[in-house]
Structure 1
Amino acid sequence: MKIMTIFGTRPEGIKVAPVIQEMANHLEIDSVIVNTGQHKEMLDQVLDLFDITPTYNLEVMKAGQSLGELNSVLIEKISKVIEIEQPDYVFVHGDTATTFAGAFSAYVHQIPVGHIEAGLRTNNIYSPFPEEVNRQLVGRIAIDHFAPTNKNKENLLKENIDANNIHVVGNTVIDALLNISERKNNLSDKLNHLLSNNKRTILLTTHRRENLDDLHSVYRAIQRITDSYEDVQVIFPIHKNPVIREKAQEIIGENPRVHLIDPLEYEQFVHLMKQAYLIITDSGGIQEEAPGLGIPVLVARDTTERPEGVEAGTLLLVGTDEDKIVEEVERLLSNPKDYQTMSGIQNPFGQGDTAKKIVNYVKMKFK
């Protein structure tokens, strides 16, 4: 049985790594690993971390490439690999351009697709953009839908997906997170020093395309919080997008208790999350990971495709409204009971056995 796994971004790499590692435990599976290179440097770090060597590196990215051009190149190159390998089954993950192109290319060749992390929805096709449309389109193509939660299953059922093809398995990111969090802390001396200064650390990340025009509000909120609380510091692994860097430098770049650092490798980022007091983010993956470490998350977005965390109480939507961010951060800083309640809730996104469930299901399918 030949199974092809297609991915290209750092989050995808983190989340498919447990599935690839699990397949390696089964001699009957011939695993073909396709890295499109949508995120090159950041993804290479993840592959090294999980000791994964791709069968193919497609290197699709070019400077100034539009989304349309990227999708076109992805479909062309992935299709050629599928023609060469003739897999029995294709895994794609999540909601990136690689996800859609991989699923579409497999569909054209009439190869069944398994969608890992299926059923996430905001039902707003422009938030997040273009991820919401990518995952909806893949939902029409996939044969098997590996949904993290029952809420995701409900979303798929509303779209008339056959219940027999939906499998609630948890999220593979928890498998990866638990693997890495148990390893020895490898943070830099500088970060270890910052984290040992008896200040409460807010971890900040921003990168969403739809938030670019509103980031000044987020950064002004950070400025106000550090002005009000001398025992608080902010660590901000800042995205390489020059727009984000320019706005951050303008508003909080001179703040001595806001530490702008380069993006971290995944292993380091996990250990930084473990030591944060709370997290402000517009990332999707962090919304799943941080609750697994008992860290409250304020989501700097107006919508989330992970409402389970909001309903459970591990996540709180604050958008990019300056006053709302300040209000909720101050509540968690000033009210220990509220903080303990939010940090003590069980993670709704899985227990660390998702990859095993997915691989066992596919093995049974081909018996």
Structure 2
Amino acid sequence: MAYTVMMVFGTRPEAIKMAPLAQVLRQWPDVELNICSTGQHREMLQQVLKDFGLSVDEDLHVMTQNQTLNGLSQQLLEQLDATYTRIKPDIVLVHGDTTTSFIAALAAFNRQIPIGHVEAGLRTGNLKAPWPEEANRRLTGVIADLHFPPTNRARDNLLREGVVLENIEVTGNTVIDALLWMREYLNKSHWRPAPDSPLAQLRDDQRMVLITGHRRENFGQGFERICLALAELALRYPDVQFVYPVHLNPQVQKAVYGLLSHQSNILLIAPQDYQHFVWLMDRAYLILTDSGGVQEEAPALGKPLLVLRKVTERPSVLEGGTVKLVGTLTERIVKETSLLLDDADVYKRMSRVFSPYGDGHASERIAERLSRWLEENARERDDS
């Protein structure tokens, strides 16, 4: 018997983390996988799918200029409802904490379609940090049928919220699957950026600091303080190359280009496809980010990481001593980055491999549990 599994995602991070799972499910004979892209990050998402040899089956067009979260949610709910009615999936898989994930889950719940939540159970305990992601993942957890937390700590969060143990499968995080697969591919193929790429100007004998930033909670003063810190660091360390792939959100672009475009050793580039970004992470001396996924990827590569946020839903990364929460205060960012650039002993302590989020086989565990659940659910329907 074949089961229709629909995977819904809309952002670049979701696509990266769902791609290895899609690759595995495409190989299962009893699963017909339908990939639905909402297009929340259309350009960046297409880059990721190309890297993993995937294509979408359903391509929704929900984004409009200057769209609010409520406007996006309205578009998503309407179009996904029609899509579910036409496809009739046996289960809908969503990932993490985006608006796409929660609304896709809500639309499935309203149609009485079972929901599987990948990267379930992450919590900060503060609905406003990160906003709106903390609410999205909590609300998705309330209505999901299957939960795939990456760690035992995330599992325990779900148990405290009343999820029954039999509906939980600790799997590790699929982002580690994607990371290890891509790094192996790059190393085996001796991959390098094209000669006309701005990354080709990076020197092998020069330390490089990689920066990413996109969180809504940092919009406004947060990003301004981050950029002021980067400008000061660039002046203090003229022999260090700072590389910043700038997110396409207009608020991010305005702050970053307005404050950093004049610094000669700060390379502002477009968002990179996954091949280029993994290459950058693997080559970086240290990384600054407000991203969730990078908090898992950088320690797995042995890269010291400074998190530009006040709280993290991934506390396990802090236990290894390779990650620090530094917030968005200019002075703190400059101090902690300078310490890593100046003190070899501090750098050595933070630059070791630490991977509490898995061994690269999370996708196989999810697929196996999902297959068992589909068969059990089908038998229950037949018996009734």
TM surpasses 0.5:
yes
Partners of 1:58 and 1:77 within 8 A in 2 = yes
Moved more, 271-280 or 332-341: 332-341
Match of 1:328 in 2: 336
Correspondent of 2:210 among 203, 208, 217: 203
Task: Between 36-45 and 350-359, report the one with greater CA deviation.
Answer: 36-45
Aligned twin of 1:188: 194
Q: CA deviation at 1:192?
A: 4.8
Q: CA deviation at 1:246?
A: 2.9
Counterpart of 1:42 in structure 2 is: 44
> 1:158 maps to which residue?
160
Contact kept, 8 Å, 2:198 with 2:269, in 1: the verdict is: no
Conserved 8 A contact 1:313-1:345: no
**Aligned equivalents of 1:288 and 1:167: distance in 2?**
19
Question: What's the counterpart of residue 23 of structure 2?
Answer: 21
Alignment of 1:1-367 (within 5 A): 1-184=3-186, 185-189=191-195, 190-212=197-219, 213-367=221-375
Aligned AA (2:216): R
What secondary structure is seen at the aligned counterpart in 2 of 1:182?
A: helix
Cα deviation, residue 302, structure 1: 0.5
Change (3 A) 1:306 1:199: same
Q: Contact between 2:51 and 2:275, CA under 8 Å: does it hold in 1? A: yes
CA separation in 2, counterparts of 1:22 and 1:15? 12
Alignment check: 8 A CA contact 1:314 1:347 kept: no
SS in structure 1 at match of 2:55: coil
Deviation at 1:122, TM superposition (A): 1.2
TM-score, length of structure 2 as denominator length: 0.92
Deviates more, 1:191-200 or 1:342-351: 191-200
3-state DSSP class of the match of 2:185? coil
Please tell me whether the aligned partners of residues 231 and 263 of structure 2 are also in contact (alpha carbons under 8 angstroms).
yes
State the distance in 2 between where 1:358 and 1:347 align. Answer: 19
- Cα distance in 2 for partners of 1:46, 1:274 equals 18
Aligned-pair distance for 1:173? 0.6
Deviation by residue 1:232-269 (Cα, 9 ceiling, x = unmatched): 12011112233333322343221111111111111111
Give me the whole-angstrom Cα distance separating, in 2, the residues matched to 1:72 and 1:154: 33
Retained in 2: the 8 A contact 1:198–1:231? Answer: no
Any idea what the Cα deviations from partners look like across 1:38-87, whole Å, max 9, x if unmatched?
11111111111112122111111111222112111111111111111221
- Percent identity over the alignment is 43
Contact preservation (8 Å) 2:193, 2:200:
no
Residue 338 of structure 1: CA displacement?
Answer: 1.9
Structure 1 residue 284: deviation in Å? 1.0
Residue 298 of structure 1: CA displacement? Answer: 0.3
Query: Aligned partners of 2:11, 2:330: CA distance in 1, in Å?
Result: 30
Contact 2:245–2:272 (CA under 8 A) maintained in structure 1: yes
Where in structure 1 are there 5+ consecutive unaligned residues? none
**RMSD of aligned residue pairs (Cα, Å):** 1.5
CA distance in 2, matches of 1:109, 1:85: 12
In structure 2, what residue type is equivalent to 1:209? Answer: R
Q: Which whole-Å deviations, capped at 9, do the CAs of 1:89-141 have from their partners, x for residues lacking one?
A: 11111111110111111111212111000011112112111111110000001
1:166, distance to aligned residue in structure 2 (A): 1.6
Q: Partners in 1 of 2:200 and 2:16 — Cα distance?
A: 27
Distance 2:265 2:31 in 1: 51
1:280 Cα deviation (Å)?
0.6
Q: 3-state DSSP class of the match of 1:91?
A: strand
SS in 2 for 1:268: helix
Whether the aligned pair in 2 keeps the contact of 1:202 and 1:278 (CA below 8 Å) is yes
